[in-house]
Structure 1
Amino acid sequence: MQIEQYGLKECEKIRGGAVVVDVIRAFTTAAYAFAAGAEKIVLAATVEEVLEIQRSLPGSLAMGEVGGMPVEGFALWNSPVQLQHMDLSGKTLVQRTSAGTQGAVRTRNATHMAVGSFVVAAATVRLVQSWGVDSLGFVITGSEANSGGYEDAAFADYAQALLEGQTPDAQTYLQRGLRWRESYAHLQDEWTERMLADLALCLEADRFDFAMPVQRENGLLVVRRTPPGW
């Protein structure tokens, strides 16, 4: 399998399988949402699109951020800490973030797609293997966000090692994500503390044994978790 990494500007070039990566925090948050019982997550590019989709899906909840900050009118922030003790059983979420969901929306030519992060790493690798594709692109969404994409590239390198049959030490790759701290040194203490709490949940390998494949459903970009025991 040919494996390459792409940024947000190049991800349209992917024609085979794609894993859109946002470790901190979109697709760690998504994994926590599924662990809390969410049925599906619809991905959107803009706040306006989220609100439009939400109106068309009664009972759905808006989730995400703009510039890393909560959005007025959204029920949920882009925070795994916020979700870890919630009950979202059967809920549909509509997610917009500044990096992760942008990558998914732009990766429009892939034959197969999943979103991924460290908390679902091994399951994501199993999903990719089940596709039987000849080429795979990892979309490093953080490359144009504040983090510089360090943790997303680390995830891609870790997943590639697993795909190649190696037995890599996850901690070596997780440590690369700690560079994220430097990007938020300018924030107010309250937000810095909340984001650092999220960081602890984001930099954990294989907390959940499910993957997050993406499909087009009625014109919407929909993420669902793989079923138990898949």
Structure 2
Amino acid sequence: MKIITFSHYKEVTDDVLKDSYAVVIDLLRATSTMIWAISNGAKGIIPVEDISEARLLKRLDESVLLGGERGGLKIEGFDLDNSPLSYKKEAIFGKTVVMTTTNGTRALKKASFAKRIFLGSFINAKKTAEYIMKETLHYNIDTISIVCAGTEEKFTLEDILCAGYFVDLFKKNLPDVFLDDLSLASHVLYKKFENDPHEILKYSYHYNHLKKLGFEADLEFCLRKDFVDCVCEYKNLVVEKV
């Protein structure tokens, strides 16, 4: 099994993805928020790249909710921001959410050539990795691609740290695992800080940007591991529970 990691969505190459299962990670916060929304009963999430596209979908179907951010903050006129704590059951149960974010929704779109696309986060990593390993072995898939969303089209530390956790899970449970250099580096980083990711992330750009905006509770939420059993897949332009 080959594990290939991309540092941000602009680096993704379709020739690698087309034969692989992909895990897309935007830890702070898009994939964490989408996973939490689905686990709280959202019917589905439609990721779009542009604000104008989200608003068009709202005009076509008034029942959908609009969620997302620009610069970390709620978009004017939208129902929800990009904080997982906003996606409470009473707000989103049975609803479809159209979401646009600076990085995460673009990363999902960029991964569209993969055989299957899963959402990754610390909050559901173990359950997701278990499902992917079972499926790849059953269908003889020999490559798993980890697509980090990045921040502002650049490498971001938190996504790589989460990628390292997925690599750790795959290494422990799959035979003959080959890691590319970034997968290896992410694993080394994760093992060093697995018990306290804040210790390294407190020096990172996006972590501190969200902290300055007052999202400390989001940081705590997104850095907790494996308290969500929901596996989420991006399929036919919609994120749904597997």
Under a length normalisation based on structure 1, what TM-score does the superposition of the two structures give? 0.84
1: CA distance between counterparts of 2:41 and 2:192? 28
Cα offset for 1:159? 0.8
Cα offset for 1:99? 1.0
2:232 touches 2:241 (CA, 8 Å); kept in 1?
Answer: yes
SS where residue 65 of structure 1 aligns?
strand
The reply to whether residue 79 of structure 1 matches residue 83 of structure 2 is yes
User: Relative to structure 1, is the Cα distance of residues 58 and 44 closer, same or farther in structure 2, using a 3 angstrom cutoff?
Assistant: same
Structure 1 gaps, min length 5: none
Query: Residues 164-183 of structure 1 correspond to what in structure 2 (within 5 A)?
Result: 164-165=171-172, 172-173=193-194, 175-176=196-197, 179=201, 182-183=204-205
Paired residue type of 2:12 = C
Query: Residues 195-206 of structure 1 correspond to what in structure 2 (within 5 A)?
Result: 195-206=215-226
Cα offset for 1:81? 2.1
The reply to whether residue 153 of structure 1 matches residue 160 of structure 2 is yes
2:65 touches 2:97 (CA, 8 Å); kept in 1?
Answer: yes
Deviations 1:47-68 (A, max 9, x none): 1111122233331101100121
2: CA distance between counterparts of 1:206 and 1:186? 24
Cα offset for 1:80? 1.3
2: CA distance between counterparts of 1:91 and 1:157? 33
1:36 touches 1:87 (CA, 8 Å); kept in 2?
Answer: no
Name the structure 2 match of 1:139: 147
User: Relative to structure 1, is the Cα distance of residues 180 and 73 closer, same or farther in structure 2, using a 3 angstrom cutoff?
Assistant: farther
Q: Which moved more, 1:197-206 or 1:129-138?
A: 129-138
Deviations 1:26-64 (A, max 9, x none): 111112212321110111111111112223333110110
SS where residue 215 of structure 2 aligns?
helix
Runs of 4+ in 1 over 4 A off after TM superposition: 168-171, 184-188
Paired residue type of 1:223 = V
Paired residue type of 1:175 = D
Name the structure 1 match of 2:27: 23
Paired residue type of 1:9 = K
Q: Which moved more, 1:198-207 or 1:34-43?
A: 34-43
Q: Percent identity?
A: 28
Query: Residues 21-170 of structure 1 correspond to what in structure 2 (within 5 A)?
Result: 21-84=25-88, 86-132=90-136, 133-144=141-152, 148-165=155-172
RMSD over equivalenced CA pairs, Å: 2.6
2: CA distance between counterparts of 1:171 and 1:185? 18
User: Relative to structure 1, is the Cα distance of residues 192 and 83 closer, same or farther in structure 2, using a 3 angstrom cutoff?
Assistant: farther
1: CA distance between counterparts of 2:39 and 2:91? 9
Deviations 1:65-105 (A, max 9, x none): 01212100110000012224644211100111111111001
Cα offset for 1:130? 3.3
Name the structure 1 match of 2:184: none
2: CA distance between counterparts of 1:157 and 1:34? 24
Query: Residues 181-200 of structure 1 correspond to what in structure 2 (within 5 A)?
Result: 182-183=204-205, 192=212, 194-200=214-220
2:207 touches 2:219 (CA, 8 Å); kept in 1?
Answer: no
Q: Which moved more, 1:47-56 or 1:195-204?
A: 47-56
Deviations 1:202-221 (A, max 9, x none): 000011101111101xxxx1
Query: How many equivalent pairs are there?
Result: 218
SS where residue 33 of structure 1 aligns?
helix
SS where residue 138 of structure 1 aligns?
strand
User: Relative to structure 1, is the Cα distance of residues 102 and 35 closer, same or farther in structure 2, using a 3 angstrom cutoff?
Assistant: same
Under a length normalisation based on structure 2, what TM-score does the superposition of the two structures give? 0.80
